[in-house]
Amino acid sequence: MATGNYSFDASHYLFPLHDRHCEPEMVLRLHSAIDAALRAGETLRAFYADHRFGVYHKGEIDMVTDADLASEKIILETIHRDYSNAVFLSEETHASLSHETGEFWVIDPLDGTTNFAHGFPWFGISIACVMQGEVAAGLVYLPLQNELFYAVKGGGAWLNGTRITVSGIENLADALLATGFPYDVHQEYERVIAALQAVLVNVQGVRRAGAAALDLVYVACGRLDGFWEIKLKPWDTAAGVLILKESGGRVSLFGGEPYSIFSKEILATNSLLHEQLSHILRDFRAYDTFRR
């Protein structure tokens, strides 16, 4: 676990982007997002250390805590401070949009809530800015590890100021992958387990740690080689997908079809493994893959 001083100065993370011909307005939006994430991360660390917070159930195994709500409040207020007309799609308080054109912010104030509630140190914050249907800037912040992954479209992917790229693993037998289970896994277990089994027998290992945004950025920096899951929400994937693409990765539906942050399934890899994994997973595509 990282220790030390956690600064709210977002500027030093952005120096590498100023020389990469990025859209200046998107760099400014990323600056606001980083400021929000660092502030919210400080609050999450305090809740985590104290371990005294309310836990409430939104579904059979889907939960929200006081920490989720406090983190989201900080993020919304920080971005609204800089962009008074900001439109939000956020997990806890703005979970739907009246339209999906123009500009909006996609926010998960605490990805990995179940882990957080149990004291398992694998959770983070995800913030993305979408412009005209495309994610243009995004970050995933791991507050306990003090690792900030971020990207602006066309500017590469970065971890605490250092450029990151995907792994060079070409063979599934050498690959370490990640997956996750949907919140209705008790009803979907047959398809979920069948897909897991089909992949597991072909790879070196599979991890299921319970935070999709973190899984995606771990693929982006080469710690994992691929990731798949069904029934994720836009706030789970928006920032991580941009970061992965900017690091050289590839994202699609299970069958290789184009991915949207509103899609029902996701396959994300280092690009080199994509066709091999798609060949395995295409049989497990959701019946409503192409519906919203």
Q: Which residues contact 226 (CB under 8 A, 6 or more apart)?
A: 175, 177, 178, 219, 267, 268, 269, 270, 273, 274, 277
Q: Indicate whether 53 and 93 sit together in one domain.
A: yes
From residue 187, alpha-carbon distances to 16, 169, 180, 229 in Å are 46, 34, 15, 15
- Tell me, what CATH number does 276's domain have? 3.40.190.80
**H or E element at residue 158:** strand 157-159
Tell me whether residue 247 is in a domain. Answer: yes
237 pLDDT exceeds 70? yes
148 pLDDT exceeds 90? yes
Give me the pLDDT at residue 86, please: 93
Q: When comparing pLDDT for 132 and 170, which is higher?
A: 170
pLDDT band at 1 (very low <50, low <70, confident <90, very high): very low
> Domain boundary at 107, 133, 164, which?
164
pLDDT band at 205 (very low <50, low <70, confident <90, very high): very high
Q: Indicate whether 70 and 104 sit together in one domain.
A: yes
Give me the pLDDT at residue 7, please: 54
In angstroms, what is the C-alpha Rg of the chain? 18
Give me the pLDDT at residue 14, please: 79
Mean pLDDT of the chain: 89
Q: What is the pLDDT of residues 122-135, one digit of tens each?
A: 999 999 999 989 99
Least-confidence region, from 99-103, 187-191, 222-226, 243-247: 99-103
pLDDT band at 292 (very low <50, low <70, confident <90, very high): very low
For residue 197, the enclosing domain spans 172-284
Strand partners, 152: 137
C-alpha 100/C-alpha 89 separation (Å) is 10
From residue 215, alpha-carbon distances to 29, 93, 205, 229, 271 in Å are 24, 24, 14, 10, 15
> Domain boundary at 130, 164, 198, which?
164
**Number of structural domains, the chain?**
2
Q: Indicate whether 188 and 138 sit together in one domain.
A: no
